Amino acid sequence: MTRIVAAPSRAAATPRAARRPLRRTLNTVLIYAVLIGIFIFAAFPLIWTFIISITDSNSVTTGHTVYDFPASLFPARITVANFFNVVRTYPAIEHAFFNSVIISGLSIVLTVIVSALAAYPLARNEFWGKAVIFGVIVATMVLPTETSFLVNMLSLAHLRQIPVIGPLLGIGSYLGVVLPTVSTAFGIFLMRQAFLSIPQSLLEAARIDGAREGQIFRGIMLPLSMPSMAALSIFTLVNTWNSYFWPSIALTGSQDKFPLAVEMLKLKGAFNDNIFNTAAGAMIMMIPILLLFLFAQRFFMRGLEGATK
């Protein structure tokens, strides 16, 4: 503990700073004041929600309100009862959690597979039509997509009519939400960058040994681009876990398949009189993605930077 606290003053002891120690210290104090100010701005809503979610609703003096500042920021009694309450009185949230896991899981697996498959020839092979195909993929990034949700909804409604596969792929199915979001220029680019950085000599050696394309792909390319696949997976997870608008449309008529992000707003309405339960529900949605982000930050940022290259 002391070591961490001592770090700033140790930095101030470098020869150059020693000449102007006061100004340097003032500067550091000022920087940290600004940093903490922005931290409060960025994190307050989440911290506040977290505090509400663990506040014992009976310990709040003014009855069922937490709008009693600043006392409510320091709850007299802490409890996890709200979490059990919300699951017990609003069983849909358990179901929605499960739906979010399925939808995100499907999205991740399909996105990584589809992107990696498409990126491989684009990075490694010469073939007729390559420039055109690459051009089309680039073009999808600048298309005017304002009415895409409408047409995609109509397409999914058409798909639904087809016997046997309709209920699987059409409107109101898990795959119906997932499929339109799976193939993206971002994913293909990210995987292509990864494949381009693998030495060509490795591939040539494998080809000389008689390996077929599929074997090279599975045996060399995929294992060597694990970090990029991780980045794409986490990026996809965060996007699909949080996505609200498209699932709420594509799952029309199948409310039992709504993910947490859609169920969240209904939860707010359902617990208008009890914001402790709403806050607990919000935390159930936020905590998994927050933990994952904290553990996999490095990969996540890499995915984001890959998007802008």
Partner 1 sequence: MNVKSLRSALSSYVFLLPALVLLVVFTLYPVLYGSYLGFTEYTAANFATNQPPKWVGLDNFRTLANDDLFKTGVLNSLKYLLVVPALQLASLAVAVLVNRQLPFIAFFRAAYYVPVITSISLAAVMWDWIYNKDGTLNWLLKGLHLMNPSSNESWLLDPNTAFWAIMFVTFWKGFGYYMVLYMAGLQTIPEELEEAARLDGATPWHVFWRITVPLMQPTILLCSLLSTLSAIRVLEEVLVFTNGTGGPLNSTYTALLYVYKKSFGGLDFNYGLASAAGLVVAAIALILSVLNFRYFRDGSARA
Residue in 155, 193, 254, 255 binding partner 1, rule: CB under 8 A:
155
**Other CB atoms within 10 A of residue 91 CB:** 10
Confirm if 200 and 123 have CB atoms less than 8 A apart: no
Residue in 25, 183, 255, 274 binding partner 1, rule: CB under 8 A:
183
289 binds partner 1 (CB under 8 A): yes
> Restricting to residues 43-62, which ones interact with partner 1 according to CB under 8 A?
43-46, 48-49, 52
Rounded Cα distance, 248 and 251, in Å: 6
Residue in 149, 193, 211, 220 binding partner 1, rule: CB under 8 A:
149
Pair of tokens at residue 43: 């994190």
Phi, psi of 19 (to 5 degrees): -65, -35
> Restricting to residues 10-39, which ones interact with partner 1 according to CB under 8 A?
11, 28, 31, 34-35, 38-39
Task: Build a one-symbol-per-residue string for 209-248: x at contacts with partner 1 by CB under 8 A, - elsewhere.
Answer: ----xx--x--------------------x--xxxxx---
Rounded Cα distance, 89 and 87, in Å: 6
Helices vs. strands in the chain: H and E counts, helices first: 17, 0
Stretch that binds partner 1, among 83-91, 137-145, 192-200, 222-230 (CB under 8 A): 137-145
Cis geometry, peptide bond prior to residue 223 (ω within 30 degrees of 0): no
175 binds partner 1 (CB under 8 A): no
Confirm if 12 and 24 have CB atoms less than 8 A apart: yes
148 binds partner 1 (CB under 8 A): yes
Rounded Cα distance, 226 and 206, in Å: 19
Q: Which C-beta is closer to partner 1: that of 155 or that of 255? A: 155
SS3 state at 77: coil
Q: How far is the CB of 257 from partner 1 (least distance, A)?
A: 16
Rounded Cα distance, 47 and 10, in Å: 32
Residue in 81, 87, 106, 133 binding partner 1, rule: CB under 8 A:
133
> Restricting to residues 64-93, which ones interact with partner 1 according to CB under 8 A?
65, 67, 69-70
Q: How far is the CB of 27 from partner 1 (least distance, A)?
A: 10
Q: How far is the CB of 179 from partner 1 (least distance, A)?
A: 7
Residue in 58, 89, 197, 297 binding partner 1, rule: CB under 8 A:
297
SS3 state at 63: coil
Rounded Cα distance, 269 and 278, in Å: 9
145 binds partner 1 (CB under 8 A): yes
